């Protein structure tokens, strides 16, 4: 089971739940709201380090949780990258998706794709070479828009083994 946590003030659980259940067959449950720790903000970059608040998600007392997925609306980054849409830490069983750069008329679709992508990493999948697969690395929002919501056959086989 994946527990979905939302940054305080957000209301976007339903598209995430539906995407995970339909495309990954992963049961999702709302785990409540959380606040982003102030120390995760990097003033030089004017962005947030999601690794710093991914651990916050693990404080949930959900006994049946395999994974924790946080949804935020702040700009996030990883070392060596200008920005990212999401990040997963399979060792912690925790992932984060940011709405910051997913905005626009396709927001729910984009959020669903990124939630599936990061949860796929938690399930052990790596980036895929197929640009249509949801596990393809999105360097730009156009990459996200061109991807399907689903896994390619090769990635699907990996999680069904």
Q: Which residues are catalytic?
A: 118
144: its two tokens: 């996200």
Contacts of 135 (CB under 8 A, 6+ apart): 117, 120, 125, 126, 127, 128, 151, 152, 155
- Alpha-carbon gap, residue 55 to 60, rounded angstroms: 10
**Cβ-based neighbour number of residue 63 at 10 Å:** 6
How far, CA to CA in Å, does 109 sit from each of 54, 115, 136, 148?
A: 23, 10, 16, 10
Q: Say how far residue 139 (Cα) sits from the centre of its chain.
A: 15
């Amino acid at each position: 089971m994946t527990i979905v946590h939302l940054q305080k003030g957000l209301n976007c659980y339903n598209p995430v739940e539906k995407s995970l259940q339909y495309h990954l067959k992963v049961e999702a449950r709302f785990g409540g709201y959380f606040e982003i720790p102030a120390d995760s903000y990097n003033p030089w970059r004017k962005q947030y380090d999601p690794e710093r608040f991914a651990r916050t998600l693990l404080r949930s007392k959900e006994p049946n949780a395999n994974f924790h997925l946080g949804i935020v609306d702040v700009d996030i980054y990883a070392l060596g990258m200008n920005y990212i849409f999401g990040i997963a830490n399979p060792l912690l069983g925790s992932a984060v998706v940011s709405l910051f750069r997913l905005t626009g008329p396709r927001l729910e679709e984009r959020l669903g794709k990124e939630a599936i992508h990061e949860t796929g990493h938690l399930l052990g999948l790596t980036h895929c070479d197929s640009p249509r697969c949801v596990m393809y690395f999105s360097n730009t929002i156009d990459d996200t828009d061109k991807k399907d919501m689903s896994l390619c056959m090769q990635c699907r086989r990996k999680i069904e083994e």
